[in-house]
Amino acid sequence: MSLRGRVALVTGAASGIGAATARVLAADGARVIVADIDQQGEAVAKEIVAAGGEAIFHRVDVRRADEVRAAVAAAESTYGHLDTVIANAGTVGGPAVARRLEDLDEERWTAILDINLAGTIRTFAAAVPALRRAGGGAMSATASIAGLTGVAGQAAYSASKGGIVAVVRALAFELVTDRIRVNCACPGGVATNLLANTDVLPVLMAQAEAQARADAAEAPASVSASAGPVGGPGAQALMNRAADPAEVARVHRFLVSDEASLVNGQAVVCDAGSSVANLWMV
Ligand code: NAD
């Protein structure tokens, strides 16, 4: 899945899934624009360069169309063209995010939609002319399982992610004649700042631990999934685990690579199975 010769813009790349994606794409030969509102992205770009890859940091606030366009221009002026985009910047809207819609103030839910959904639209809109100039390319976004199943206590976040899925489907058709594929990844819980800064991770951990304890009490002798009953010891805990950001990064890498030439307009679920385990997830 070599990405040699590719130039990739990754938003929200200063930490978590975005930083992991920047590293994974660079390790595969892509030259990467590490774009983020947080200056910490500079350290991510430096780390990639120290590891023998090519990357620059470009500060961008995805709430600002002019800043996103400037990041695209930086890609073209630094590396000659742009053919790959990962629209990943996002927020759950701050701590204690699980709350009823009527308790979510206007400022908070509009910020969630502005960064997650409108930010993705701005990023794609700014990038498409550049991808056309490059003769085609591939774009991916970080949506969420929340955008497919909806999550109680996170209506605005769920709407922002469901919106990304709809945008991806619309664009896949719109851009097919430009030889541009558009997909998104839908992770479950991922161990990042976003999850750590909310009340979601403790809930996930408590659920997983309680399930593991219940399973162990029910069938203490059976620890192997193949030997045990269906959904046996720890099965739900395994599906409900918080993923490593690199696991999501590798899904993005696949989606923007030529290996995914048949995958277009798709919301690719990467949640360790939590959505089929029917557990409450982000
Ligand atoms: P994170 O907080 O580590 O990373 C989010 C990044 O986005 C940060 O570097 C932040 O500075 C940047 N960002 C926020 N607002 C921005 C703005 N206005 N302009 C530019 N950059 C901005 O969290 P993460 O989990 O890596 O989140 C990445 C994406 O993954 C988000 O879209 C998030 O909704 C999505 N996601 C996360 C999880 C999870 O459990 N962590 C699950 C599903 C989807």
Q: pLDDT per residue over 137-154, tens digit each?
A: 999 999 999 999 998 888
Beta strand 84-87 with 7-11 is parallel
> Which of 281, 188, 282, 279 is closest to 231 using CA atoms?
279
What are 54's two structure tokens? Answer: 């090519």
Taking residue 108's Cβ as centre, other Cβ atoms within 10 Å add up to 16
Predicted confidence band of residue 222 (pLDDT cuts 50, 70, 90): very low
Predicted confidence band of residue 281 (pLDDT cuts 50, 70, 90): very low
The rounded Å distance from CA 57 to ligand 1 centre is 17
Specify the DSSP class assigned to residue 29. Answer: T
Nearest CA to ligand 1 atom 24: 16
Taking only Cα atoms into account, the Rg of the chain, rounded to an integer number of angstroms, comes to 19
Predicted confidence band of residue 105 (pLDDT cuts 50, 70, 90): confident
Q: For residue 281, which phi and psi values (nearest 5 degrees)?
A: -135, 160
d(CA 252, CA 139): 9
Q: What's this model's pTM, rounded to 2 decimal places?
A: 0.91
**216 or 201: which carries more pLDDT confidence?**
216
CA distances to 37, 121, 282 from 97, in Å: 21, 23, 11
Q: Chain-wide mean pLDDT for the chain?
A: 89
Which of the listed ranges 1-5, 95-99, 163-167 does the model predict with the highest average pLDDT? 163-167
What are 190's two structure tokens? Answer: 């991922």
d(CA 226, CA 219): 14
- Please report, as a single letter, which amino acid is at residue 124: F
Across 23-47, average pLDDT: 98
5-194+239-268 CATH choice from 3.30.420.40, 3.50.50.60, 3.20.20.140, 3.40.50.720:
3.40.50.720
The rounded Å distance from CA 193 to ligand 1 centre is 8
Atom of ligand 1 nearest to the CA of 92: 34
| CB of residue 88 inside a 6 A radius of ligand 1 | yes
Distance of CA 253 to the CA centre of its chain: 11
Nearest CA to ligand 1 atom 30: 142
pLDDT of residue 18: 98
What amino acid positions are annotated as catalytic residues? 157
The rounded Å distance from CA 151 to ligand 1 centre is 17
Which region holds residue 52: left if phi is over 0, alpha if psi is between -120 and 50, else beta? Answer: left
